[in-house]
Amino acid sequence: MTKHIKENDRLRKIVESFPKLTVTVLADLVADEFVFGEISRVSREAPVLILKHRDRKVVPGGGANAICNLADLGVNVLPIGIVGDDEPGRLLLRAFRHKRIPVNGIFKDKSYTTVTKTRILAGFAHTAGQQVVRLDREPAEGPNSHLRRELVLAARQYTRASDALLVSDYGYGAATPTLLNVIREKRGLDKVPVTLDSRHRMLEFSGVTAATPNESEVEEVLGIRIGNNWERLLAAGDQIAGEMNLESLLITRGKDGMVIFPRRHKPVDIPIYGGDEVTDVTGAGDTVIATFTAALAAGATAEEAAQLANYAGGIVVMKRGTATVSRQELLEALDKTPPVIREH
């Protein structure tokens, strides 16, 4: 019992220190659009549902969701990214301003289309809608040379005043391995921990402190199948951590929790917080890396950062749609449940 009290006290102090931190985020910014319709009937034109439009909302997604999670944890966040001169881009900027997140490092460009993921949800009156289709709008090509230069200059300026740099790479060109290498030149990232969430190419990044892939991303980059094979998971984690020369690697496993691989220490298996009754996993990875990054920036060990990320991930998957976790919610979770590890 005394050990659990000490662990919780330490984790609480880490969370309470978040407002003293500043984190720069280099990110692919995404607008998550949710369109809700009430099922009316089946169309005579095709075997599809006809929905009566009921509601629409657009919220920050992708790297923009990681940014909002940091802000709701109390961290001072400095975002860097690109939006188009379009409605989704304007709505993203409005959402940031509403949370008092500075937008000086977000560049608006007429030739760029804001990445927008539209989810159509269908349901009956007084029931929760179920996603029936998703429509993605993406830019035809990545940012031009002028925008890439602006991203690098902003990142170098912001990281000098930051406790960490979070890189959120969804593959749209604002957070590439090449850009990170250019930012690092001329002592651009001296002694600043760099955390990475990369959808498809994490092994192409270098100079990263920690990465937070999910298990399917690990399987994709290594061309393997892990399943329930603990030894295969350990081998995969060791391979990625070694190839990328990471200080720590956090692999998230959905309902099976997450495993942290700290350098020079044994991997730690952490069961999911709150049980496996998951409501919605949309954006959960953004919540995990935001919390993990904030904790590392506060001086947490890799295992402590993983425990806090696990609490946050367990909270956010109980919410519908793209969501965040507040610092108060994290503190309340710590009060209710001590950190747990699974022995092997």
pLDDT, tens digit (0-9, with 9 covering 90-100), for 36-61: 999 999 999 999 999 999 999 999 99
pLDDT, tens digit (0-9, with 9 covering 90-100), for 198-212: 999 999 999 999 999
**Which residues are paired to 211 by β-bridges?**
196, 249
Instruction: Name the pTM for this structure.
Output: 0.93
Contacts of residue 96, Cβ cutoff 8 Å, sequence gap at least 6: 60, 64, 67, 68, 79, 102, 103, 106
**Gap between the Cα atoms of 58 and 92, Å rounded:** 8
Question: Is domain 2-30+61-114+140-336 classified as CATH 3.40.1190.20?
Answer: yes
Q: How far is CA 253 from CA 65, 96, 202, 260, 299, in A?
A: 20, 30, 17, 11, 25
pLDDT, tens digit (0-9, with 9 covering 90-100), for 20-29: 999 999 999 9
**Above pLDDT 70, what percent of the chain?**
95
Residues recognised as catalytic: 286
Are 280 and 302 spatial neighbours (Cβ–Cβ below 8 Å)? no
pLDDT, tens digit (0-9, with 9 covering 90-100), for 100-137: 999 999 999 999 999 999 999 999 988 878 899 999 99
Low-confidence ranges of the chain (pLDDT < 50): 1
At 1 the pLDDT is 46
Tokens of 123: 């349901």
At 255 the pLDDT is 87
Cα 175 to its chain centre, rounded Å, is 13
At 125 the pLDDT is 82
At 86 the pLDDT is 96
**Gap between the Cα atoms of 124 and 122, Å rounded:** 7
Backbone phi, psi, residue 123, to 5°: -170, 175
Where do the domains of the chain lie?
2-30+61-114+140-336
